[in-house]
Amino acid sequence: MIDLHIHTTYSDGADNLIEVLKKAEALKLEVISITDHDNCKAYRELNKINVKQYYSGKIIPGIEIKCSYQGRLIEVLGYKINTDKMQSWADEYYKDKTKEMLQQKYFDLTYENCVNNGLILPPKQEIAFDAKKDWASLTIYKELVKNEINKTKAEPDLLDDFNTFSKKYCGNKNHFLYIDKTKDYPDLQMVIDKIRESNGLVFMPHLFIYRWTENKKDFIDKLLKDYKVDGIECMHSEFSEEEISYLLELCDKRGYYKSGGSDYHGVNKPGVELAIGKGNLNIPREMIKNWED
Ligand SMILES: [Zn+2]
């Protein structure tokens, strides 16, 4: 059994690297890949420690990078990358795109969008907002609901709950609350190029999870037609049996490499366990034998 899609505390995972290694050892996983978002810092740590003390299997260097594709955000996996090269690029690319900088920008934009559209907010400097810790949309939402009059100023359900506010309105391209975040990320072609420049293989993860796609199979076809990738993540915690079969067959037909992973985040993604996902994931090493070395 293998797991090539794992997050640690170097991104939004709950377990630190050592904890992940120990869990992988306990499950006797033959091959793993740490695929933190937008960085390879786990590999810097791996280079400093005696890995075999915690985990005796094989580790394929990996990363998962968020990027823009047709006005939306999707993700790409890079495997067998030179993690130093990849990290040098990430250091440079993300240096002015820290969470703090982005959340401050989103806070300012959301504040303006609200005020310009008749919603009532206190003066900006009176709102407690720490861009390092807080989330812009949640902070503004909490301020908006404090003033009853805001419920009469826009859609009747706008302030019903945070999920409606953020998913139905902030995420809706045609709503005044929408912010285009795609420019804060590299585009798909740039990410593909950077993975290749780091001597890596380009894999497309969880192609069936993007809810905004009207027809998932058409979306997959178009993406694979327009971009040259090496492989596809065929097994993932969120996939149905039918989706797994579809992708395995697609790889066989078109000659893509196959991979699979749980997308483990520890307690930050409840219900998804290392390697077994929602309980029934069992990714065979056989699947990666034509590219793992
Ligand atoms: Zn992931």
At residue 181, does pLDDT exceed 90?
A: no
Is the backbone of residue 132 left (phi > 0), alpha (psi -120 to 50) or beta? alpha
Distance 64 CA to ligand 1 centre (A): 6
CA of residue 175 to ligand 1 center, whole Å: 29
252 contacts: CB under 8 Å, gap ≥ 6: none
pLDDT digits (tens, 9 = 90+) for 53-85: 999 999 999 999 999 998 888 999 999 999 999
Residue 261 CA, ligand 1 centroid: distance in Å: 9
- Tell me the CA–centroid distance for residue 76 and ligand 1, in Å: 9
Residues with CB under 5 A from ligand 1 (ion): 64, 263
Using the predicted structure, report yes or no on whether residue 214 has a pLDDT greater than 90.
Answer: no
What integer pLDDT is reported at residue 290 of this predicted model? Answer: 96
Cα separation, 37 vs 118, whole angstroms:
37
Q: What is the pLDDT of residues 234-260, one digit of tens each?
A: 999 999 999 999 999 999 999 999 999
Picking from 170, 171, 224, 184, the residue whose alpha carbon sits closest to that of residue 67 is 184
Under 8 Å CB-to-CB from 203, ≥6 apart: which residues? Answer: 76, 77, 78, 79, 229, 230, 231, 232, 233, 257, 259
Question: How close is the Cα of 65 to the center of ligand 1, in Å?
Answer: 9
What is the predicted pLDDT for the residue at 160? 94
CA 142 – ligand 1 centroid, Å: 29
pLDDT in tens, 89-111: 999 999 988 889 999 999 999 99
DSSP 90: H
- At 158 the pLDDT is 95
* Ligand 1 centroid to residue 125 C-alpha, Å: 36
**What is the whole-number distance in angstroms between the Cα of residue 37 and the centre of ligand 1?**
7
What is the Å distance from ligand 1's center to 121 Cα?
Answer: 36
Average pLDDT, the chain: 95
Give the per-residue pLDDT at 71.
84
Phi-psi region of 206 (alpha: psi -120 to 50; beta: other; left: phi over 0): left
The answer to whether 243 and 237 are in contact (CB under 8 A) is no
Cβ-contact 43, 71 below 8 angstroms: no
Q: What's the number of CA atoms in the CB half-sphere (13 Å) around residue 279?
A: 2
Dist CA 25 CA 246 (whole Å): 31
Rg over alpha carbons for the chain, rounded to the nearest Å, is 21
| Residue 220: other Cβ atoms inside 10 A | 19
How far is the centre of ligand 1, averaged over its atoms, from the C-alpha of 140 (Å)? 28
Q: How far is the CA of 208 from the centre of ligand 1 (A)?
A: 13
Alpha carbon of 220 to ligand 1 centroid (Å): 18
pLDDT average, residue stretch 11-23: 96
* Nearest C-alpha neighbor of 227 from the set 189, 173, 278: 189
Phi, psi angle pair for 63, to nearest 5°: -155, 150
CA of 145 to the centre of ligand 1 (A): 33
* Of 287, 281, 288, nearest in space to 240 by CA: 281
| Cα 155 to middle of ligand 1, angstroms | 34
More confident residue, 11 or 63: 63
pLDDT value of residue 72: 86
Would you state the pLDDT for residue 167? 81
How far away, in angstroms, is 51 Cα from ligand 1 center?
Answer: 23
Domains of the chain (ranges; CATH) run: 2-81+200-288 (3.20.20.140), 99-182 (no CATH)
For residue 25, give the nearest of 60, 52, 46 by alpha carbon.
52
